Amino acid sequence: DAGVIQSPRHEVTEMGQEVTLRCKPISGHDYLFWYRQTMMRGLELLIYFNNNVPIDDSGMPEDRFSAKMPNASFSTLKIQPSEPRDSAVYFCASSTRTGGFYGYTFGSGTRLTVV
Amino acid sequence: DAKTTQPPSMDCAEGRAANLPCNHSTISGNEYVYWYRQIHSQGPQYIIHGLKNNETNEMASLIITEDRKSSTLILPHATLRDTAVYYCIVRAQSGNTPLVFGKGTRLSVIA
C-alpha cells in the first residue's frame, strides 16, 4: 500500500488566492482527518470524516476553510481566500479499526506558504 | 486540551536507552495511553499503546504505573534516526475519538 497520499507537497501562493489541498486515504480506511501544524499552535485537528460524512468541523478556523470528501478515496481542503496566517503544514490521516484499535496513518503533509 | 504532561526536551546518547516520561494523572478507566512520534518534516507515526499492562513491540516498550497516572516509553537502543518529537496521548478505546496532540518531547539522540 502506498500509504496516505497528499498533494501538492509544497504550495506557495499569494494572499487572496484560492488554495486546494488534496488527500487520498488508504484503501479500506473509513475515517479521514485533516490536521494543521504550526510552530505556535502545534498539531490541531481541523475536521474529520467517517464514511465520507463530516463528523466534526469545529476545528475549522473560519468560513474561509472548507473540506469535502466526495468518495472514499479522495478528500480536499480548500482555503478561499488565503491569508498569510494560513501558512502551515497540513496533514491528512486515515484510520480504521484493526486488531481492536484505531491506528492512524498520516500523509507526508503539504507545506503551504501564503505571501 | 491535552490530558498529558511531558518534558519539552531530552537528550540521549546513541546506543543507550531513551526513557521518555509522561504524566496523565487524570486518566479515566476506559482510556488508553498512545505514543506517536514525528520525525522532522514527516507526519506522526504510531509507536505503541497500552491500557494497564506493560507492552512491547519491535519499536519500543511501554511501562504504565500501577495507578496508571504515568507511563514511560522506552527505546532500548536509541539511534540517530530516533531523533524526533514524541507525543503521549490518552484516548478512549471505544469509538474513534480523534487524536489530540500536545507539545510532546523533543528527543535528540547524540552520537
- Residue pair B33/B49 in contact (Cβ under 8 Å)? The answer is yes
Nearest neighbour of B43 by CB, restricted to A31, A48, A106: A106
Does A95 sit within 8 Å of B46, measured CB to CB? no
Distance CA A9, CA A77 (A): 14
> And the C-alpha cell for A77?
481542503
Residue B20 CA to its chain's centroid (Å): 7
Residue B1 clears pLDDT 60, i.e. is over it = no
Chain A residues inside the 8 Å CB shell of B96: 31, 50, 95, 97, 102
Q: Residue B2: what pLDDT?
A: 53
Q: For all residues of chain B together, what is the average pLDDT?
A: 93
Q: What is the pLDDT of residues A49-70, one digit of tens each?
A: 999 999 999 999 889 999 999 9
Q: What is the pLDDT of residues B38-71, one digit of tens each?
A: 999 899 999 999 999 899 999 999 999 999 999 9
Chain A residues inside the 8 Å CB shell of B43: 4, 91, 93, 106-109
Nearest CA in chain B to A96: B96
Better pLDDT: B1 or B18 = B18
B window 54-73, beta carbon within 8 A of A: none
Residue A110 clears pLDDT 60, i.e. is over it = yes
Q: Residue B41: what pLDDT?
A: 82
Better pLDDT: B30 or A25 = A25
Question: Which contacts (CB < 8 Å, 24+ apart) does range A35-39 have?
Answer: A35/A90, A35/A91, A35/A92, A35/A93, A35/A106, A35/B101, A36/A88, A36/A89, A36/A90, A36/A91, A37/A88, A37/A89, A37/A90, A37/A91, A37/A109, A38/A87, A38/A88, A38/A89
B39 and A CB contact within 8 Å = no
Nearest CA in chain A to B41: A108
Q: Residue A87: what pLDDT?
A: 97
- Residue pair B82/B19 in contact (Cβ under 8 Å)? The answer is no
Residue B21 clears pLDDT 50, i.e. is over it = yes
Nearest neighbour of A108 by CB, restricted to B36, B42, B93: B42
